[in-house]
Amino acid sequence: MDFAGRIAVVTGGGTGMGRELVRQLAAEGCTVAMCDVNAATMAETKRLAEAAGLPQGTRITAHIADVGKEDDIKRFQREAAEELKTDRIHLLFNNAGIGGGGSFVAGDRDEWERTFAICWGGVYWTTRAFLPMLLKADRGHITNTSSVNGFWASLGPLTPHTAYSAAKFAVKGFTEALITDLRLNAPHVTCSVVMPGHIGTAIAINTRSVLKEGETGLSAAELAATRARMKAQGVDPSAFSDDQIAALVADMGRRFQDDAPMTAAAAATVILDGVKSSRWRILVGEDARAIDEAVRAAPETVYDPGFRHPFGFTPQGDGK
């Protein structure tokens, strides 16, 4: 698939893999409509893309939209169609996502449902909203970002990860089911599911902003969960104040972005190469491939406390 002269929609275009998808698509002459909850980060994405030089006729539009709210997505679709003066698109990248909602049992219900709404609802509602425009194109492609946590629902034996993992399993299953659905009912539209490992993005930092967590930057449930994990690891949590624990978590978020084995730009290149090659299953990162192999090799042991994969229990994340 040649991206030049095409029109793409990218959710979560303000940071991480979303930003890099916008930049690389635009550099190839693809007009892009992106959405995010942060106008400033989208403005920076657009500035970076334009500073690199855009092929003649290539446009980038930015739209404020929370993918966890269907009405926002419907408005985004109307605005994109109107601003680009088109009734069709060729590429849809459902990239936006956050973490959060770790425990179904002990966590906060609102946080759990907010995480699930963004990570799964955002894919479902955005695909619903833009499908008529994809159907009108001569050729279309849907790319949905799942995660390694879409086939391994764990961050390790001491960390529940239910909302994010459930959502990412839903994204993977939805995309695989679409393969047959599209082949029968819209054969000119195809799809891919993307499963990144640890990519250098701001997902951990952005999650706290989106969830509007407490004064420390963490919700009461997350503070309690962090203290419980510390205790399980042999660390006395009573020796740390809430602010100190929040600072430790914030530092982990920064390290998640800065010390990742793969950059967001490299991940976006892998994704776009996979779309060009018409691959429906796109693993991103050596750790994603290693985890995939380990899970396939011993599926009934992957949630045992002693299970280890070649890269250890590294928190995974997607493009946001």
pLDDT given for residue 296 in this prediction? 95
Is residue 108's pLDDT more than 60? Answer: yes
Separation between Cα atoms, residue 55 and residue 124, nearest integer Å: 32
CATH topology for 7-208+263-297?
Rossmann fold (3.40.50)
pLDDT given for residue 186 in this prediction? 98
pLDDT given for residue 36 in this prediction? 98
Is residue 243's pLDDT more than 70? Answer: yes
pLDDT given for residue 315 in this prediction? 38
pLDDT given for residue 165 in this prediction? 97
Is residue 47's pLDDT more than 60? Answer: yes
Domain spans of the chain?
7-208+263-297
Two structure tokens written together for 29: 């002459």
pLDDT tens by residue, 165-194: 999 999 999 999 999 999 999 999 999 999
pLDDT given for residue 60 in this prediction? 98
pLDDT given for residue 231 in this prediction? 78
